[in-house]
Amino acid sequence: MSGPYNPQPGSQPGEQPPWSGYSGGGSYPQPGQPGYGGHEGYQQGGYQSYPPQSYPPQGGYPQAGYQHAGYQQGGYSYPQQAWGTRRRETIGVIGLIGAVAGATLLIVSFAALAWYRIVGHDITFSDFHRSLNQPGAPGFPKAYFGWLGWVLLALVVVSAVLASLPIGSAALTFRIVAPATGVIGIVVTLLALNSYWDKAANTFGDVGVFKHSAVGLYFALIGFLIAGVAGVFGPRRG
């Protein structure tokens, strides 16, 4: 047999339980009720920011102020090269020396040395020019020993010199022209001699481009080669 029903205070129908705290079923005071303090930390016109907190620099490094020339970290400096800077160009000494050496060999060969020695008789560049300065002489050797050889000499030497000067992009052009002219000078010299000896075989007998040749011919070939190679080096970058 059960005991008499004895309801506790607040347990009657329609009453709020004692643990609810406030009317309306909530556990916190509602707007308009005693104990409600409003929206703390907020304002109607916007949020109320809390005071900014100041944090010490992390790791001992400054947060701002990187230097443009390099970063300063932990006592070490790392210099950096500025963007767009170009190394200064100066005169290419190696190229100039090669151009002068090639020009010297060519001028001495054309002006003084014997190219061939046949039966004790020396034949120089000037001898070729005189023997070809007559009617019926083959045209190609006549042009070479008349003016073409000197033009090729001047062109290869001047190109090698200009290729060694700090004249910007123009130096690159002469670095191509100089070796090309050196090769052309060698080939044209050999072709001119071959054509000459083919026509003069009846006069001098068994003579070829390199047969009975003397030091003057080799000075000319080496001079074209050295002057042409000298133009490859270009200006010095420092």
pLDDT tens digits, 53-111: 555 555 555 555 445 444 455 555 545 554 455 678 888 899 999 999 999 999 999 99
pLDDT at 169: 86
pLDDT at 82: 47
pLDDT at 159: 95
pLDDT at 146: 94
Structure tokens belonging to residue 217 = 């011919």
Cα–Cα distances (Å) from 119 to 73, 112, 114, in that order, read 84, 19, 13
Cα–Cα distances (Å) from 74 to 59, 60, 61, 65, 77, in that order, read 10, 9, 8, 15, 8
* 193-206 burial code (b ≥16 CB/10 A, e <16): bebbbeebeeeeee
Q: Phi, psi (5° rounding) for residue 122?
A: -85, 135
* Amino acid occupying residue 195: S
Q: How do residues 115-163 score in pLDDT, each as one tens digit? A: 999 888 899 999 999 999 888 888 999 999 999 999 999 999 999 999 9
224/8: higher pLDDT: 224
pLDDT at 228: 96
- Binned at pLDDT 50, 70 and 90, residue 42 comes out as very low
Q: Is the pLDDT of residue 51 over 90?
A: no
Q: Is the pLDDT of residue 113 over 80?
A: yes
* 22-36 burial code (b ≥16 CB/10 A, e <16): eeeeeeeeeeeeeee
- Binned at pLDDT 50, 70 and 90, residue 19 comes out as very low
Q: Is the pLDDT of residue 17 over 70?
A: no
218/9: higher pLDDT: 218
pLDDT at 66: 47
* Amino acid occupying residue 6: N
Cα–Cα distances (Å) from 91 to 80, 137, 225, in that order, read 27, 45, 21
pLDDT at 58: 54
139 burial (CB, 10 Å; 0-12 / 13-18 / 19+) is: exposed
- Binned at pLDDT 50, 70 and 90, residue 191 comes out as very high
